[in-house]
Structure 1
Amino acid sequence: MAVKNQVQLITYPDSLGGDLKALNNILMKYFSDIFKGGIHILPPFPSSGDRGFAPLTYLEIEPEFGTWEDIRAIGENFDVLVDLMVNHISQKSIYFQDFLMRGRKSEYADLFITLDKVWEDGAPVKKDVEKMFLRRKVPYSTFNIEETGEEEKVWTTFGKTEPSEQIDLDIKSDKIKQLLTDFLVNFSKQNVKIVRLDAVGYVIKKLGTSCFFVEPEIYEFLDWIIELANSLGIELLPELHSHYRVQNRLADHGCWIYDFILPYTILDTLINKSSEKLCEYLKNRPSKQFTMLDCHDGIPVKPDMDDLIDTKEAKKLVDVCLERGSNLSLIMSDEHKGLDGFDVHQIRCSYYSVLNCEDDAYLAARAIQFFAPGIPQVYYVGLLAGKNDVENVNKTGEGREINRHNFSLEEIEQSLKQEVVQRLLTLIRFRNEYIAFNGEFEVLESQKDEIKLLWQKDDKYCTLYIDLKTDKSVIEYIDEIGKKALYVV
């Protein structure tokens, strides 16, 4: 099964209308010709935290959202993409709950990484921990086993609580391989076409390393799971926030990758009115990528942009974003901050808000995204030109809620009346349907304050021209009757 070279939507199961049935109705009513590339439904499974990213199982759908029947119904008209958190599972899953009850006697004990699997005596060594790319203060949580009263420390890469809600899986275990097989077999039965391997960079734990994207072991795991997915007609998309060279090595391995460099680079281009870095980047990047501007987390900065940005310049850009209402996610481990202490992991905002709600700038950003080779994904808040949801941040205390607004049917209909949204829909249709996007891409010579990008296939071509002084975008193309035509975005 080939991934379609057309635009995809990213949405939570309950963010457009309240549940999966409503989502399907809205897609069919308003967007049936828009998301021809597919629908990425953020985790619709029973979960105990992190808005779905601490799943209890992948064999069920959270009843509040609907059923597998609803997923299959969406899959009748759109390719469905879902997440598989290969690195971890919920503390509340039946597997870990049984371990909490029975400890090492549990039939599921081998699914988890007790610290004696890492350090022989089970005692963490400070110098080993200091080398790791940490997502919390220490990479483990302590639990008490009910039957024995013993204390067990198990590996937990993620989680804001102590102990963590997200328990790491031991991918060396045959039982985990069987479990992942069961999950993927179920996905194929439910008409799921693409699976994003969330947090895949953390699956290998090896002393003396950062425990992030450990080579060559990571490739052994990827080769195994890709072969399994291929046998089930599923395409895999590994999700990795890392230095661009790591992403490139993954691309060299034949994998789809995420372009986490593009969102910041486009933002920098539009705010600083200079296309130099963007054009240089577009000339040299791998083309087998999924592209995005906004998502449920934030605009990636570190480690994705390491060695691509000057941190003094980056601080200025971050300050502009903060002035426009953004908030920040920061790097935890000192070793992975910049030498000058620069520690911004992600800029959290709606992309429309961070561009000051200026329609032309926002559409210029989308036009660049759609012209960059790859599969464009549009996040549902970006689709509706949603603004920063500061109220929700204040209510929940979760900075990421700034870009996670749930739209009622009424709000969706109101948003669709906005001129910026209608212009975006027109641009998506052009990206989906114009034949030249299946041809050859070229970055044309341009001045610092303009952008010129070209797609060409046989006798058809389209050129994007953006004037950064005004943020106006114009596409020149050859129409059906072979005449030159202009489309003002």
Structure 2
Amino acid sequence: MEERRGVQLIAYADRFGGSVRGLLDLLDGPLAGVFDGVHLLPFFTPFDGADAGFDPVDHTAVDPRLGSWADVRALARRYTLMADLIVNHVSADSAEFRDVLARGDVSEHAGMFLTMSDVYPDGADEDELAGIYRPRPGLPFTPMTLGGRRRLVWTTFTSQQIDLNLAHPAGQAYLDGVLAALTDGGVSMVRLDAVGYAVKTAGTSSFMTPRTFDFIGDLTARARERGAEVLVEIHSHFERQVAIAARVDRVYDFALPPLLLHTLYTGDIAALRRWLDVRPANAVTVLDTHDGIGVVDVGPDQIEEGRPGLLAPEQVDALVEGIHTRSGGQSRQATGWAASNVDVYQVNCTYYDALGGDDDAYLLARAVQLFVPGVPQIYYVGLLAGRNDMGLLARTGVGRDINRHHYTREEIERDLDRPVVRRLLELVRLRNAHPAFDGDFRAAGEGSVVVLTWEAGEHRASLEADVATRTFRVDATPAPGGR
């Protein structure tokens, strides 16, 4: 059995604490003893760009509005610290790309950025271009003038996020410099953001190809040399998650969130049980993150036809409609064509609202998350059983902002006193403290009842959950303080 890690928080410093030091004050104050670590969402310059920090102008600098590297290191001394290595792209406003815009091929940074001709030097036909996998509608190119020459710049996500040429020494040197800055700053877990898109290869989908796997392996080795574990962030068919798990330290269990919603909507544990039998144990478990609720992770393969998913297409459709219905239509306003930051594979909604604000269903889902093997991470909005922020969505028009509320200290302290949050914190403390979670895991159940059990010597902790009645019972013997 792998070494256990305690429960971790996922949070933006500006939205949960106001700064890096403010977040540390929360973790040491009202949340003392709750979390073992924290995934500190992008705190680089700027943290509030076109994609909430995932489009860094300077990936090696802490935005001074949030603090300094000294503040980050102070956080890392107290908690296991995860940060994002944004592998695929940088901001169009970065100094390097602005120099390429002005000077073109004579810029010393010209090799750092990817154009269509870098991948297709002899051009590409319709089939090749149509075969490129992209999470947004349209082709991944933006026409730009670089040093007076019109070029097709590769922009997988948005025209503000310029893809790196990771086959070029300049692109490789850039990533090595960012990795050094992170690990020197105390980061011991590195999340490879958007790494599935990072390697482009003519004649392929340019998503999770064999060359991508090789690249991930090489980058993981470099991170380990600097003392950091690697978490790979990929939304894709569940079999790819299983495959990549064997090559890296951690993968996300992105199938668990939609499967739990499906299970609670239908009262049937069959799909969940199947996943529990095959899922990798070296996972980071989440129900919610700064992104939307993924559905591609449980559906049929979007790249290779004929590979069924954990759910059939009609079940995926019912799942999406179920989220829209239970959120009173709010998620529909924040998803797909209704909002900017369009993704073809995610529904934007808080997890609490995806369950209709039902405390019992929500706590059951969290209990399952905390009982399956892996490192549990709880998003700051989910920690407080947060509702959809329709006001923020209206102000920004960005779909994901529905689940990115800016909390005041008063709101945090008020919500921590809500019964649903207090019960969630009890479950987190049990997961952190009970010695049974250092032992062996097994899953059982049928119909609407799932049973998850951990045993280590005389220590035992079990969860019996009935998804039809939305009730569950936790038994822990000997209990480390009771529940």
The equivalences for 1:339-350 within 5 A come to 345-350=345-350
Find 1:246's aligned residue among 240, 251, 274. 240
Shift of 1:219: 2.7
Q: Separation in 1 of the partners of 2:256 and 2:297?
A: 14
Alignment-derived partner of residue 258 in structure 1: 252
2:46 equivalent to 1:41: no
Cα distance in 1 for partners of 2:272, 2:119 equals 42
- Tell me how far 1:387 sits from its aligned partner: 0.4
Aligned residue number for residue 379 of structure 1? 379
Cα 1:41–1:316 change in 2 (3 A) is: same
Retained in 1: the 8 A contact 2:460–2:478? no
Q: Aligned partners of 2:316, 2:383: CA distance in 1, in Å?
A: 27
Partners of 1:115 and 1:19 in 2: how far apart?
39
* CA deviation after TM superposition for structure 1 residue 316, in Å: 2.3
Q: CA deviation at 1:211?
A: 0.7
Match of 2:184 among 181, 184, 189: 189
Secondary structure of the residue that 1:318 maps to in structure 2? Answer: helix
Task: Tell me which residue corresponds to 2:294.
Answer: 300
Q: Contact 2:155 / 2:162 at 8 angstroms: preserved in 1?
A: yes
**Residues 260 and 292 in structure 1, CA contact (< 8 A), matched pair in contact too:** yes
Q: 1:440–1:348: structure 2 CA closer, same or farther, 3 Å change rule?
A: same
- Give, in whole Å, the separation in 1 of the partners of 2:317 and 2:225: 47
User: What TM-score results when the alignment is normalised by the length of structure 1?
Assistant: 0.91
Aligned to 1:85: 86
Secondary structure of the residue that 1:64 maps to in structure 2? coil
Structure 1 residues not aligned, in runs of 5+: 332-342
Check the 8 A contact 1:16/1:23 in 2, yes or no. Answer: yes
Q: Secondary structure of 1:427's match?
A: helix
The percentage of counterpart residues that share the same residue type is 37
Give the structure 1 partner of residue 25 of structure 2: 25
Q: Give the C-alpha shift of residue 128 in structure 1.
A: 1.1
Partner Cα separation in structure 2 for residue 320 and residue 226 of structure 1: 38
What do residues 72-106 of structure 1 show as CA deviations (whole Å, max 9, x unaligned)? 11112111111011111111111101101110000
* 1:128 matched residue in structure 2: 128
Structure 1 residues 417-426 or 460-469, which shifts more? 460-469
Q: Counterpart of 1:436 in structure 2: which amino acid? A: A
Query: Structure 2: how far apart are the matches of 1:125 and 1:140?
Result: 15
Cα deviation for residue 114 of structure 1 reads 2.3
The aligned residue for residue 226 of structure 1 is: 220
> In the aligned structure 1, how far is the partner of 2:479 from the partner of 2:145?
69
Q: 1:320 to 1:220 in 2, by over 3 A?
A: closer
Following superposition, the deviation at residue 329 of structure 1 comes to 4.1
Matching residue of 1:468: 467
Q: Secondary structure at the match of 1:50?
A: coil
Does residue 358 in structure 1 map to residue 358 in structure 2?
Answer: yes
Moved more, 261-270 or 344-353: 344-353
In structure 1, how many angstroms separate the alpha carbons of the residues matched to 2:4 and 2:77? 15
4+ residue segments displaced more than 6 Å: none
5+ unaligned residues in a row in structure 2: which ranges?
301-308, 338-342
Give the structure 1 partner of residue 436 of structure 2: 436
Helix, strand or coil: the match of 1:51?
A: coil
Give the Cα–Cα distance (whole angstroms) in 2 for the partners of residues 477 and 13 of structure 1.
35
User: Could you tell me which of 266, 272, 275 is aligned with 2:269?
Assistant: 275
Distance in 1 separating the partners of 2:378 and 2:4: 15
CA displacement 1:210-246 (0-9 Å, x = unmatched): 110111x123212221121111111111111111111
Is contact 2:230-2:248 (8 Å) kept? no
Contact 1:261 1:305 in 2 (8 A): no
Could you say which residue in structure 2 is the equivalent of 1:334? Answer: none
The 5-angstrom pairing of residues 322-341 of structure 1 reads 322-323=324-325, 324=327, 325-327=330-332, 329-330=335-336
Residue 17 of structure 1 deviates from its aligned partner by 2.6
User: Aligned partners of 1:463, 1:303: CA distance in 2, in Å?
Assistant: 27
Confirm or deny: 8 A CA contact 1:188 1:233 kept in the other structure: yes
1:387-445 CA-partner distances (Å, limit 9, x unpaired): 0111211221111111000100011011111011111111100000111111111112x
Conserved 8 A contact 1:111-1:173: yes
**Match of residue 312 from structure 1:** 314
User: Equivalent of 2:198, from 200, 203, 216?
Assistant: 203
* TM-score normalised per structure 2: 0.92
Change (3 A) 1:304 1:55: farther
Q: Which amino acid aligns with 1:326?
A: S
Amino acid aligned to 1:88: H
Amino acid paired to 2:289: C
Name which of 142, 162, 170 aligns with 1:167. Answer: 162
Query: What CA distance in whole angstroms lies between the structure 2 residues aligned with 1:228 and 1:3?
Result: 22
- 1:278-321 per-residue CA deviation (whole Å, 9 max, x = no partner) reads 12211221111001001111111025532221222322222221
Partner-residue secondary structure (3-state), 2:135: coil
Q: 2: CA distance between counterparts of 1:466 and 1:429?
A: 19
Task: Indicate the residue corresponding to 1:338 in structure 2.
Answer: none
Cα–Cα, structure 1 residues 395 and 429, in superposed 2: closer, same or farther, change >3 Å? same
Give the secondary-structure state (helix, strand or coil) at the position aligned to 2:188.
strand
- The letter of the residue matching 2:34 is I
Work out the CA distance in 1 between the residues paired with 2:93 and 2:298: 32
Give how far 1:208 is off. Answer: 1.4
Equivalent position SS for 1:192: coil
- Report the counterpart of residue 230 of structure 2 in structure 1: 236
Task: State the distance in 2 between where 1:77 and 1:463 align.
Answer: 30
| Secondary structure in structure 2 of the residue aligned to 1:356 | coil
**Structure 2 partner of 1:180:** 175
